[in-house]
C-alpha cells in the first residue's frame, strides 16, 4: 500500500475503496472508473491515489484480463489533475520528494501492466491527469469543445513531475514536448491529436466503447511514431543541446530569470529520451520537491487559487441562479466599446453596438470581423462558429430605439457624468426593468451614474482594461444601491467572457487605478528629480513588471493618465497630489503611443521598438534622484503602491488580501512570481516595510506636495508590524 504520510487529506476523506470503481463490462476487460464521492470532478488527491493503488493490486493478479481502461465517471469528466491545495500545503522538500516518487511508482505499475491499457479522457485533462494518461499504452480523447489537454505546471512554478517531462518527449519528441511544457497551455482535442498527444478521437458517447475496442484489440491502434527523428533529434545530444539552448534563450528573454521552473523543465525534457525511466523519475521528483517548496511556486499557486475563488463569485447563492444572457448591447463604438461588443458576440450573445458616429460603428465592425477571421485562421474557431460570431454583432446610430430585447447593456462612452446619465436615462426608457445597466467607467462613481435611473439596483460597474481581449481582469463595482444579484450576474458574465472578476467598492479609482496612480506618479517625481527614465524602466522590468512605468504611461496615454491622477487627487487629497511633469510635457502631438510621441518616440513600422525621447532633460528640475541606489528607486515606486494597498484593504475596497493581490497581478501586471503587492510586503516583513516607508517619508522635503503624506505608513501596516502580523 502506498504511504500517504505527510500528504494532506481532505476533511471529508471518504472510506477506502470509494474513489475508484472497478467495472467488468465484458470478459477480459476491466474499467477503472475515477469517481470520488467527495469531489464534483476527480482530483488526484490522497484518497484517489490510495484507491487507485488498491485497484491495481486487484487487477495485477488477474490473468484473465486482456485490456484495462481508465476512465472518468462521465465522458467529459476525467480528472482535474493533482491536488494543488495539498501540494501547496507541503513545505518540507523531503516530503514532496517522497510523495512524487510514490506517484511515479503508482504510474509505473500502470505502465508495466501486461494487458493493454487505454486512457479514455475528456473534458479538462490537465497536469497530473494527463500524466496518468501518458502512463497508459494508448489515449483516446473525447472530440468535444470542453476537452482540453496539456501540462500547465510551469505556470504554477513547478515542472510536470509525475512523468510528463520524460513520457511526453518519448511520445511526441523533444522539440514538441519542450514547446508544450514551456507554454503550459491546454490544447483542444483535435490539435492534441494532430500533435500526437492522444492516439484517437471519439465522440463522447462512444468514448468508452472505442477505448474498450482498442484495449481488447478489436480496433488496431494507429500510433504515429517519430521514425528517424527519434535518433537524429530526440536521442542525439548535440541536437537536444541546440533545442535546449534556443529554449533557454527564449525563456530568459521572457522571464528575465525570475522563474526557475521553465529552466529546470528544459534540462529534464532535453535529456528525457537518453535517460532510463527510473533515473528520469528521480530527477523529476528532485526538481518538483525543490520547486514546489520555493517562494515562486507558492506565489503562483496563490494566484491560481485566488483566480479560481474569483470565478466562483459568479455562481448563484441562496437559491439565486444568474441568467445566461442571450441578447446584449454596448453603447459607444470606440476602442473599448467595440472590443467589448466583439467579445460578447464571440461568446454567444446577440449584440447591438450603438454610436452616433457611423464611421466608429463601421470601424468596430471591421475590427470584429478581422479578429474572428484571425481566430478562424488559427483554428481557434470552427467555420460555423466564426460565421455565427460575425452574425451576432450589428450596429446602429439610432440610440433611441432597437435595444428593447437587451438583457445587459454595457456603456462605454466618454468619461463625463452628464453623458453617462443621459445614456442610461435613454436606455431605461427602452429596456425591461430587469435589464442590467453596466458602466465601463474607470473613474466616475457608479452610485452617481445610477442617480435618477429607474430601478438603480440594476446599475453596476463592469470595468474592463485596455486591451480588452488581452487583459484578464474585470472589476465589478458595487454601487450604493446595486443589488447582490446584479453583482453576481456581472461576475458570471465576466467568467463567460474568459475574464477573472473581482468585486470592488465604489470608490475613486476603484482598486487597480487607485493603486497604479501612486506608482506611476512616483515614477514621474523621480524623473523630475533627475532619475534616468531608461534606468527606472529597466529596474521595474528587473523587478518583474511587464513594462516600465514610462512606457506604460505612453501606452495609457499622457492625457488619460493626467486626468486620472487629478481625479485621485480630488478624492484622496494631499497624498495623491500629482507631479507636474506630464502636464508640462503634454501637448496635442505628445500624448504617448497614440500620437507616436510621449516619453518615447514610437515608430510607425510594425516591429520597430520605441526609442526614449531626446528632449526629456528639459523637464527635469533637480538631480537628487540620480544619486539614489537601485533599491531606493524601486522602493519609492513599489512602496507607494504597498501603502495604498494597505489602505484599500483596511477600507474593505475588496473583500480579502488574496483578491487584492489577484487584482494587482491581473490588472497592473505586478510581478506574478512575487504573488501580488501584499504578498510581496509580507515576504519582506511588515516591520521592515514600515521602517522603509518612514525613512522615505522623512527624506521627502516638507514643502513638496504629497511627498511625506504618501509614505506615512498606513494604520494597518503600523498595527500589523507592531504585533508581528501579516496581510495574508
Rounded to the nearest integer, the mean pLDDT of the chain is: 93
Residue holding cell 463567460? 496
What the chain holds in terms of domains, given with CATH numbers, is 20-301 (3.90.226.10), 317-505 (3.40.50.720), 512-722 (1.10.1040.50)
For residue 471, what pLDDT is reported? 94
Per-residue confidence band for 704, with pLDDT thresholds at 50, 70 and 90: low
Q: Give the separation between CA 68 and CA 71, rounded to whole angstroms.
A: 10
For 380-402, how does the pLDDT look when each residue is reduced to its tens digit (9 = 90+)? Answer: 888 999 999 999 999 999 998 88
For residue 538, what pLDDT is reported? 96
End-to-end CA distance of the chain: 38
Residue 535 has pLDDT above 80, yes or no: yes
Is the distance from CB of 396 to CB of 366 less than 8 angstroms? no
Q: Give the separation between CA 160 and CA 248, rounded to whole angstroms.
A: 17
Please compute, for residue 302, the number of CA atoms within 13 A of its CA located in the half-sphere on the CB side: 28
For residue 702, what pLDDT is reported? 58
Residue 493 has pLDDT above 90, yes or no: yes
Q: Give the separation between CA 388 and CA 368, rounded to whole angstroms.
A: 12
For 224-267, how does the pLDDT look when each residue is reduced to its tens digit (9 = 90+)? Answer: 677 777 778 888 999 999 999 999 999 999 999 999 999 999 99
Per-residue confidence band for 166, with pLDDT thresholds at 50, 70 and 90: very high
Per-residue confidence band for 1, with pLDDT thresholds at 50, 70 and 90: low
Residue 611 has pLDDT above 80, yes or no: yes
Is the distance from CB of 285 to CB of 97 less than 8 angstroms? yes
Is the distance from CB of 371 to CB of 418 less than 8 angstroms? no
**C-alpha of 222 from chain center:** 36
For residue 591, what pLDDT is reported? 93
Residue 605 has pLDDT above 80, yes or no: yes
For 419-460, how does the pLDDT look when each residue is reduced to its tens digit (9 = 90+)? Answer: 999 999 999 999 999 999 999 998 899 999 999 999 999 999
Q: What is the pTM of this model?
A: 0.90
Is the distance from CB of 19 to CB of 36 less than 8 angstroms? yes
Q: Within a 10 A sphere around the Cβ of 264, how many other Cβ atoms?
A: 22
Nearest by Cα to 256 from 548, 533, 543: 543
Nearest by Cα to 495 from 305, 343, 364: 343
Q: Give the separation between CA 144 and CA 559, rounded to whole angstroms.
A: 47
Phi and psi, residue 505, nearest 5°:
-80, 160
Long-range contacts of the stretch 483-488 (C-beta < 8 A, 24+): 483/457, 483/458, 484/320, 485/320, 485/322, 486/436, 486/457, 486/458, 486/459, 486/460, 487/313, 487/460, 488/313, 488/314, 488/315, 488/316, 488/317, 488/320, 488/322
- Burial annotation 438-449 (CB, 10 A radius, 16+ → b, else e): bbbbbbbbbbeb
Complete DSSP assignment for 142-166: E-STT-EEE--GGGGTS--TTTHHH
Residue holding cell 526557475? 260
For residue 513, what pLDDT is reported? 95
Helices (H), 66-137: 84-89, 93-111, 128-134
Please compute, for residue 31, the number of CA atoms within 13 A of its CA located in the half-sphere on the CB side: 22
Per-residue confidence band for 85, with pLDDT thresholds at 50, 70 and 90: confident
Per-residue confidence band for 352, with pLDDT thresholds at 50, 70 and 90: very high
For residue 701, what pLDDT is reported? 65
Residue holding cell 487629497? 573
Mean pLDDT for 580-600 is 90
- Cell matching residue 64: 484473465
Between 84 and 386, the higher pLDDT residue: 386
Is the distance from CB of 251 to CB of 182 less than 8 angstroms? yes
Tell me the C-alpha to C-alpha distance, in Å, between residue 325 and each of 65, 464, 490, 666: 50, 18, 10, 25
Is the distance from CB of 98 to CB of 61 less than 8 angstroms? no
Tell me whether strands 611-612 and 600-601 are parallel, antiparallel or unpaired. Answer: antiparallel
Q: Give the separation between CA 358 and CA 513, rounded to whole angstroms.
A: 32
- Cell matching residue 274: 537518453
> What residues are labeled active site?
463
Q: Give the separation between CA 450 and CA 424, rounded to whole angstroms.
A: 8
Residue holding cell 454596448? 330
Amino acid at each position: 500500500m502506498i504511504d500517504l504520510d505527510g500528504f494532506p487529506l481532505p476533511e471529508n476523506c471518504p472510506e477506502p475503496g470509494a474513489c475508484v470503481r472497478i467495472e467488468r463490462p465484458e470478459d477480459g476487460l476491466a474499467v477503472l472508473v475515477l469517481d470520488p464521492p467527495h469531489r464534483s470532478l476527480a482530483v488526484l488527491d490522497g484518497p484517489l491515489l490510495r484507491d487507485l493503488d488498491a485497484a491495481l493490486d486487484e487487477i495485477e493478479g488477474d490473468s484473465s484480463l486482456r485490456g484495462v481502461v481508465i476512465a472518468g465517471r462521465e465522458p467529459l469528466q476525467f480528472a482535474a489533475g493533482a491536488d494543488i491545495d495539498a501540494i501547496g500545503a507541503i513545505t518540507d522538500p523531503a516530503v514532496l520528494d517522497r510523495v512524487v516518487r510514490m506517484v511515479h511508482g503508482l504510474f509505473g505499475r500502470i505502465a508495466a501492466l501486461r494487458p493493454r491499457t487505454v486512457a479514455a479522457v475528456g473534458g479538462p485533462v490537465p497536469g497530473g491527469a494527463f500524466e496518468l494518461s501518458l502512463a497508459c499504452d494508448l489515449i483516446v480523447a473525447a472530440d468535444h469543445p470542453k476537452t482540453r489537454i496539456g501540462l500547465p505546471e510551469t505556470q504554477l512554478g513547478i515542472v510536470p513531475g509525475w512523468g510528463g517531462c520524460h513520457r511526453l518527449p518519448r511520445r511526441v519528441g523533444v522539440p514538441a514536448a519542450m514547446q508544450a511544457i514551456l507554454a503550459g497551455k491546454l490544447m483542444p482535442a483535435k490539435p492534441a491529436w494532430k500533435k500526437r498527444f492522444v492516439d484517437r478521437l471519439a465522440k463522447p458517447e462512444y468514448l468508452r466503447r472505442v477505448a474498450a475496442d482498442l484495449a481488447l484489440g478489436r480496433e488496431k491502434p494507429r500510433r504515429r511514431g517519430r521514425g528517424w527523428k527519434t535518433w537524429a533529434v530526440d536521442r542525439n545530444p548535440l541536437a537536444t543541446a541546440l533545442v535546449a539552448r534556443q529554449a533557454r534563450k527564449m525563456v530568459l528573454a521572457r522571464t528575465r530569470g525570475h522563474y526557475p521552473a521553465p529552466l529546470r523543465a528544459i534540462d529534464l525534457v532535453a535529456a528525457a529520451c537518453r535517460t532510463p525511466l527510473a533515473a528520469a523519475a528521480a530527477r523529476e521528483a528532485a526538481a518538483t520537491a525543490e520547486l514546489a517548496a520555493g517562494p515562486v511556486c507558492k506565489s503562483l499557486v496563490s494566484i491560481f487559487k485566488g483566480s479560481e475563488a474569483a470565478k466562483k463569485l459568479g455562481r448563484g447563492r441562496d437559491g439565486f441562479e444568474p441568467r445566461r444572457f442571450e441578447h446584449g448591447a454596448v453603447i459607444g463604438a470606440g476602442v473599448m466599446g467595440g472590443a467589448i461588443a466583439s467579445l460578447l458576440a464571440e461568446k454567444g450573445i446577440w449584440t447591438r453596438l450603438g454610436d452616433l458616429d457611423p464611421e466608429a460603428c463601421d470601424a468596430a465592425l471591421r475590427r470584429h470581423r478581422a479578429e474572428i477571421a484571425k481566430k478562424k485562421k488559427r483554428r481557434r474557431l470552427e467555420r460555423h462558429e466564426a460565421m455565427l460570431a460575425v452574425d451576432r454583432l450589428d450596429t446602429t446610430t439610432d440610440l433611441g430605439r432597437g435595444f428593447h430585447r437587451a438583457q445587459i447593456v454595457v456603456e462605454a462612452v466618454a468619461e463625463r457624468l452628464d453623458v453617462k446619465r443621459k445614456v442610461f436615462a435613454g436606455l431605461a426608457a427602452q429596456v425591461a426593468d430587469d435589464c442590467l445597466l453596466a458602466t465601463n467607467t474607470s473613474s466616475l462613481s457608479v452610485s452617481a451614474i445610477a442617480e435618477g435611473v429607474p430601478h438603480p439596483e440594476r446599475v453596476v460597474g463592469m470595468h474592463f482594461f485596455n486591451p480588452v481581449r488581452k487583459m484578464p481582469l474585470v472589476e465589478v463595482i458595487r454601487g450604493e444601491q446595486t443589488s447582490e444579484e446584479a453583482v453576481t450576474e456581472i461576475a458570471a458574465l465576466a467568467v463567460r467572457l474568459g475574464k477573472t472578476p473581482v468585486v470592488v467598492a465604489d470608490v475613486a479609482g476603484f482598486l487597480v487605478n487607485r493603486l497604479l496612480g501612486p506608482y506611476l506618479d512616483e515614477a514621474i517625481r523621480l524623473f523630475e528629480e533627475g532619475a534616468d527614465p531608461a534606468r527606472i524602466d529597466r529596474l521595474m522590468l528587473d523587478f518583474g513588471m511587464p513594462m516600465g512605468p514610462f512606457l506604460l504611461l505612453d501606452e495609457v496615454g499622457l492625457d488619460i493618465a493626467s486626468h486620472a491622477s487629478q481625479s485621485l487627487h480630488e478624492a484622496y487629497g494631499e497624498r495623491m497630489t500629482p507631479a507636474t511633469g506630464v502636464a508640462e510635457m503634454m501637448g496635442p502631438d505628445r500624448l504617448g503611443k497614440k500620437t507616436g510621441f510621449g516619453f518615447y518616440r514610437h515608430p510607425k513600422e510594425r516591429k520597430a521598438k520605441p526609442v526614449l525621447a531626446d528632449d526629456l532633460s528639459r523637464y527635469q528640475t533637480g538631480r537628487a534622484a540620480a544619486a539614489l541606489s537601485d533599491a531606493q528607486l524601486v522602493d519609492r515606486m513599489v512602496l507607494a503602491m504597498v501603502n495604498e494597498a494597505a489602505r484599500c484593504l483596511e477600507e474593505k475596497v475588496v473583500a480579502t488580501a488574496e483578491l487584492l493581490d489577484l487584482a494587482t497581478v491581473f490588472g497592473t501586471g505586478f510581478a506574478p512570481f512575487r504573488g501580488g503587492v501584499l504578498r510581496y510586503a509580507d515576504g519582506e516583513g511588515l516591520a521592515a516595510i514600515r521602517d522603509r516607508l518612514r525613512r522615505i517619508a522623512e527624506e521627502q522635503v516638507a514643502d513638496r506636495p504629497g511627498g511625506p503624506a504618501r509614505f506615512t505608513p498606513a494604520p494597518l501596516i503600523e498595527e500589523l508590524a507592531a504585533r508581528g502580523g501579516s496581510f495574508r
